[in-house]
Amino acid sequence: MNQRDEQEFAEYFAAKRDSVRRTAYMLCGDWHRADDLAQTAFVALHRRWKKIRERAATDAYVRKTLVRAAIDESRRPWRREWQTEELPEPPQDGFDLGEQVVTREDLLAALREVPPKQRAVLVLRFFEGLDVGAAAKVLGCSEGNVKSQTARGLANLRQVMEKEEVARDGRE
């Protein structure tokens, strides 16, 4: 790349780094993995920087690369998490307002329980604010697929949130 291209990429990176990292966190639920995913997306963008004709499409390219990297990463066997019935520390006795309110952390934890493709659709639609068509373009699938994945993802998210609520109620 020539000096002008490097400068343009550096400016784009500085402007978008935080938002791409936040989106990656929404996709995977772990800041360290989010950093890795964001890095993967920016490295891929850097490789193709000279070939991108429309700079307006750069955000879509980064988003698509990020989502694909998150889905690919979730398929790797060493990334799979195992659930256990016992918590590592015993629950505290007494009233705790923090357990009575659904917080952002609760939502993000529940989102991590949703399958990767559905999670990607939910993040793109409801956190990134993309419409069905734009989400379909990022994911490389049909609009109907996005709609069905959205419905399934919301149903799974609801189910996980209800399980958490029942578990919270059982501890009281």
The answer on 114 and 54 residing in a single domain is no
How many domains, in total, are found in the chain?
2
CATH code of 131's domain = 1.10.10.10
Task: Tell me, yes or no, whether 33 lies in a domain.
Answer: yes
CATH code of 27's domain = 1.10.1740
The answer on 15 and 57 residing in a single domain is yes
Look at the alpha carbons of 14, 15, 18, 19 in this order and tell me if their dihedral is positive or negative: negative
Contact 37, 55 (CB under 8 A): no
pLDDT tens readout for residues 68-115: 998 887 776 655 555 667 655 655 555 454 554 557 778 888 888 999
The answer on 102 and 68 residing in a single domain is no
Tabulate helix, strand, coil % of the chain (nearest 5): 80, 0, 20
The answer on 72 and 6 residing in a single domain is yes
pTM of the model: 0.54
HSE, CB side, 13 Å, CA atoms: give it for residue 146. 21
pLDDT tens readout for residues 146-162: 999 999 999 999 898 88
Q: In which domain, by residue range, is 30 found?
A: 1-76
pLDDT tens readout for residues 5-33: 899 999 999 999 999 999 999 998 889 99
